[in-house]
Amino acid sequence: GKYTKEDILKKVKEDDVEFIRLQFTDIFGDLKNVAITSSQIEKALDNKIMFDGSSIEGFARIEESDMYLYPDYDTYETFPWRPQQGKVARLICDVYKPDGTPFEGDPRYVLKRALAEAKEMGYTMNVGPECEFFLFQTDENGMPTTNTYERASYFDLGPLDFGENARRDMVLTLEQMGFEIEASHHEVAPAQHEIDFKYGEALRTADNIETFKLVVKTIAKRHGLCATFMPKPKYGVCGSGMHMNMSLQKDGKNIFADENDKLGLSQEAYWFIAGIMEHMKEMTAITNPLVNSYKRLVPGYEAPIYIAWSAKNRSPLIRIPSARGAGTRVELRCPDPTANPYLAMAVCLKAGLDGIKRQLPVPPSVDTNIFNLTAEEKKTRHIHSLPANLREATLAMSESDFMKEAVGSHIFERYTSAKMDEWNEYTRQVTDWEISNYLYKV
């Protein structure tokens, strides 16, 4: 690792840290904290800080609720937006049981387990996310709205772009926290933005996505705005996605590249793509976890609907960007920023590895616009759709042995049952759409 215990103790002193947040995420990807004062740091670094796991949804039952936090020293970072005297630092933690074994309900452990399997095959995984979000106005009580005064669009510059100052502040804050920002720009819809950071090893990137969301929300608030990662906050405009760019490395070399292939892709890359396609329907409840996620996956807004791949076209589920050499990657375009990044990466990696192990043949690429194909043509070309809603996605996951193994039975049971409850609660609502379409007419 980067830091030893002594390094952290020294940093905490040097940085004048007063509070330390020990962070982890629940199965839905929500960031949780146990806050300690710096007087407790040694105890924390010795893995002795405990919390009650039963207070966290989907985590543990009362009888088995004692959990321990094992900080990952390399994740030490201070929060630049907090006071510079008496600073606040964070450490991202793994969750362990009292018997000293990893807790199966910890999503970070699920990713680590998948990465260990890859390691056995000689691979490390790199991931680069492209995370989109909206910046909306807050009302006079500081409550979030879906209103915006701006009318800017893709790559527009200020003064049309009201969020520009906030976005610049976000980029600077992320850079202070060690992020390498590759791009930041206005997105297609009014008030929609994207900030891309450089790809890195999967576990680090999953940690970074959690930090990224915290920074974006915190800095937006400081600018009197509300940042939301909700996949489709507004009918009739583009939703927010989180494209996941993935590649595998062996001995420091990107193994998805092969100059001798006609598309410049290796056999492993084709198998990896085939594995993702094979398991995509079962994984969608993880990559697109909300009722609202499926309102983004509709025609007309650059979001994928069909399970297909292309190296030419920008719109299919799996796209192979034109970069080759170290930049050779598979881009999965369905995930949205509400996915638990640890679980999303774990299931994508497991699916890709399954493709490699079984040497699954990749279906032919679809380089034409799928939306122009007739139902008959899609059928003869075996082009399937993604699940249409959270119910279909959750059922597909529930019936999948692959998914049970990939996330472990603890998370599998709790996740699928929580998602089915979420769907059932949603379908029982009487919505504004129903009132405006039915109330006066019937």
* Active-site amino acid positions: 52, 130, 132, 187, 194, 243, 314, 331, 333
Q: Which does 106 bind (CB under 5 to 8 A by kind): ligand ADP, Mg ion, none?
A: none
Extended beta strands in 251-332, E state: 253-254, 306-307, 309-310, 318-319, 330-332
**Judged by CB, which is closer to ligand ADP: 93, or 257?**
257
For the bound state, the minimum distance from the C-beta of residue 10 to ligand ADP, rounded and expressed in Å, comes to 32
Q: Identify the three-state secondary structure at position 411.
A: helix
Q: Which does 336 bind (CB under 5 to 8 A by kind): ligand ADP, Mg ion, none?
A: none
DSSP string, 36-75: EEGGGHHHHHTT-EEEEGGGSTTT--GGG-EEEEEE-GGG
**Judged by CB, which is closer to Mg ion: 26, or 130?**
130
Q: Which does 128 bind (CB under 5 to 8 A by kind): ligand ADP, Mg ion, none?
A: ligand ADP
Q: Which residue has the tokens 């799928």?
A: 370
For the bound state, the minimum distance from the C-beta of residue 364 to ligand ADP, rounded and expressed in Å, comes to 23
Binders of Mg ion among residues 117 to 136 (CB under 5 A) are: 130
For the bound state, the minimum distance from the C-beta of residue 213 to ligand ADP, rounded and expressed in Å, comes to 15
Binders of Mg ion among residues 125 to 184 (CB under 5 A) are: 130
Give residue 346's Cα distance to chain centre: 11
Residues with Cβ within 8 Å of 148's Cβ and at least 6 positions away in sequence, in order, are: 134, 135, 136, 137, 162, 190, 191
Cβ atoms 343, 353 nearer than 8 A: no
Q: Give the C-alpha separation, 363 to 275, whole Å.
A: 11
**Judged by CB, which is closer to ligand ADP: 44, or 320?**
320
Q: Give the C-alpha separation, 225 to 11, whole Å.
A: 33
**Judged by CB, which is closer to ligand ADP: 246, or 274?**
246
**Judged by CB, which is closer to ligand ADP: 296, or 391?**
296
**Of 133-141, 166-174, 243-251, 291-299: span binding Mg ion (CB under 5 A):** 243-251
Q: Which residue has the tokens 């201070």?
A: 78
Q: Residue 243, interface with Mg ion (CB under 5 A)?
A: yes
Cβ atoms 186, 193 nearer than 8 A: yes
Structure token pair of residue 349: 């990696």
Q: Residue 329, interface with Mg ion (CB under 5 A)?
A: no
Structure token pair of residue 47: 């893995």
Cβ atoms 269, 328 nearer than 8 A: yes
Q: Residue 193, interface with Mg ion (CB under 5 A)?
A: no
Structure token pair of residue 260: 């001798």
Vertex 256: Cα angle to 254 and 258 (nearest 5): 100
**Judged by CB, which is closer to ligand ADP: 155, or 438?**
155
Q: Which does 245 bind (CB under 5 to 8 A by kind): ligand ADP, Mg ion, none?
A: ligand ADP
> Where do contacts with ligand ADP occur on this chain (CB under 6 A)?
126-128, 130, 182-183, 196, 198-199, 243, 245-247, 254, 321, 326-327, 329, 331
For the bound state, the minimum distance from the C-beta of residue 134 to Mg ion, rounded and expressed in Å, comes to 14
For the bound state, the minimum distance from the C-beta of residue 75 to ligand ADP, rounded and expressed in Å, comes to 20
DSSP 8-state secondary structure symbol assigned to residue 169 = H
Amino acid at position 262, single letter: K
For the bound state, the minimum distance from the C-beta of residue 242 to Mg ion, rounded and expressed in Å, comes to 9
Among 358, 279, 274, which Cα is nearest to 309's?
Answer: 274
**Judged by CB, which is closer to Mg ion: 243, or 295?**
243
Q: Identify the three-state secondary structure at position 185.
A: strand
Q: Which residue has the tokens 């701006």?
A: 150
Q: Which does 196 bind (CB under 5 to 8 A by kind): Mg ion, ligand ADP, none?
A: ligand ADP
138-170 exposure pattern, b = at least 16 Cβ within 10 A, e = fewer: eeeeeebeeebebebeeebeeeebbbbebbebb
Q: Which residue has the tokens 């075996």?
A: 382
For the bound state, the minimum distance from the C-beta of residue 137 to ligand ADP, rounded and expressed in Å, comes to 27
Helices (H), 223-266: none
**DSSP β-bridge partners for residue 91:** 22
For the bound state, the minimum distance from the C-beta of residue 271 to ligand ADP, rounded and expressed in Å, comes to 17
Residue nearest to ligand ADP (CB): 128
- Applying CB under 5 A, what is the total number of residues that bind Mg ion? 2
Q: Which residue has the tokens 């906030």?
A: 166
**Judged by CB, which is closer to ligand ADP: 102, or 327?**
327
Binding site for Mg ion (CB under 5 A): 130, 243
